[in-house]
Amino acid sequence: MEDCIFCKIINQEIPSYKVYEDEKVYAFLDITQVTKGHTLVIPKKHVSDIFEYDEQLATDLFTRIPKIARALETAFPEMEGLNIVNNNKEVAYQTVFHSHVHLIPRYSKKDDFSLHFGKHMEDYTQEQMQAIANQIQKQVKSNE
């Protein structure tokens, strides 16, 4: 896609520090290096976000991730964990609208990455939780 920075990286029009490539997927260092080895994994096909994936594209992208995750783990034995993050749409902090998955190696809880999961279980009754689950379940089935 024209004017997409990640398509330009795939096409070598913009340089990148490549860590993996095959016919479907490209992986390269995120320029910000939130932690050492911070990697982006992207499909070569331009899609904006997760809502545009079909099953085949999801298979193509997500089957490569464990392999790259293990490569990070063996490349950096001091790594103690890994966050896998995929932001979709601006409200969810997406800034580049070519879908990508962040692999963020974790070396310590004090490194420069954080994620806040607020706890809101007290805001919902059991009935409300069931209604929410049903609402989603119905859509998963009808989208199949």
Q: Catalytic site residue 38?
A: no
Q: Which of 40, 49, 47 is nearest to 9 (CA)?
A: 40
3-class DSSP assignment, residue 101: strand
Q: Report the chain's C-alpha Rg in angstroms.
A: 18
Residue 16 interacting partner from ligand 5GP, Zn ion, none (CB closer than 5 to 8 Å by kind): ligand 5GP
DSSP state letter for 90: G
Query: Are 29 and 36 within 8 A, CB to CB?
Result: no
Q: 25 touches which of ligand 5GP, Zn ion, none (CB within 5 to 8 A by kind)?
A: none
Q: Which member of 38, 98, 100, 102 is catalytic?
A: 100
Residues 4-23 within binding reach of ligand 5GP (CB under 6 A): 5, 14, 16
Please identify, using beta-carbon distances, which residue of 22 and 52 lies nearer to Zn ion. 52
Rule CB under 6 A: which of 65-104 touch ligand 5GP?
87, 93-96
Shortest distance, position 6 Cβ to ligand 5GP, whole Å: 8
Burial of 8 (0-12, 13-18, 19+ CB in 10 A): middle
Number of residues that bind ligand 5GP (CB under 6 A): 13
Residue 47: contacted member of Zn ion, ligand 5GP, none (CB under 5 to 8 Å, by partner type): none
Among 6, 19, 35, 100, binds Zn ion (CB under 5 A): 6
- The residues assigned a catalytic role are 100
Residues in contact with Zn ion by CB under 5 A are: 1, 4, 6-7, 46, 98
